[in-house]
Amino acid sequence: MTIHVLLADDQALLRQTFRIVLDSCPDIEVVGEASDGRQAVELARTHRPDLVVMDIRMPGTDGLEGTTEICADPELAGTKVLILTTFETDEYVARALRAGASGFLGKDASTDELIAAIRTVAAGESLLSPQATRLLIGRFLAAPDVGTRATAASALDVLTAREREAVALAAHGLSNEEIAEKLFVSPLTARTHIHRAMAKLNARDRAQLVVMAYQAGLVTIKPE
């Protein structure tokens, strides 16, 4: 199956480089390029890509606004957003994740890491690396306001005890295989728990599921 990708970055040279790299992959096709968030939304509605590689910091309509609009559009429910950012400085990524972005990748990533990230996010299986999950989610999303936490916690009531355990482990950045090991079940069973939790909570992917876990207080980050 071919993954159709839309590139959104204000640097034309970077977009062209990404296009060359991605178009060399037999399972990835770049269907368009956008120079800002507004154009990204328009092209997403035209091409209906599987994934948008979105830079956050762009002049005019930035990637955050573009991500929010794409993820809120019911007609683009099948389109995921992969955020390009710098982990240490770009706090906007937290808002992008809340808006529905499916993953994030540092701009210093290698071409192999970019390709792997696109395939991973397109499959809806992971919020990328466990280290990145702990860093960004722990730093920016672990302390929602009281009202948000109460509402989110109530939403988790639909989960079984086992599903809550699986979601909590996913929120700590564990893969399905690692969750299976912790729960003494098969990787397939762990994957089933995660997918059932996503369905019950109407989470568009694993990334949103992890955000919900932190917002509900199901897991928290301990101080260093």
Query: For the residues 135-152, what does the mean pLDDT come to?
Result: 60
CA distance 220 to 202: 22
Per-residue pLDDT at 88 exceeds 60:
no
Look up residue 57 and give its DSSP letter: -
DSSP reduced 3-state for 85: strand
**All domains of the chain in start order, with CATH:** 3-123 (3.40.50.2300), 145-215 (1.10.10.10)
Label residue 21 exposed, middle or buried (CB < 10 Å: 0-12, 13-18, 19+): middle
Provide, rounded to the nearest whole percent, the portion of the chain with pLDDT above 70: 83
Q: How confident is the model at residue 224 (pLDDT cuts 50, 70, 90)?
A: very low
Confidence (pLDDT) at 214: 82
Per-residue pLDDT at 208 exceeds 60:
yes
Average per-residue pLDDT for the chain: 86
Provide, rounded to the nearest whole percent, the portion of the chain with pLDDT above 90: 54
Q: How confident is the model at residue 29 (pLDDT cuts 50, 70, 90)?
A: very high
Q: Which tokens belong to 171?
A: 């929120």
CA distance 158 to 164: 10
46, 76 contact by CB (below 8 A): no
pLDDT tens digits for 32-66?
Answer: 999 999 999 999 999 999 999 999 889 899 999 99
pLDDT tens digits for 104-117?
Answer: 888 888 999 899 98
Say what the pTM is. 0.76
Per-residue pLDDT at 82 exceeds 70:
yes
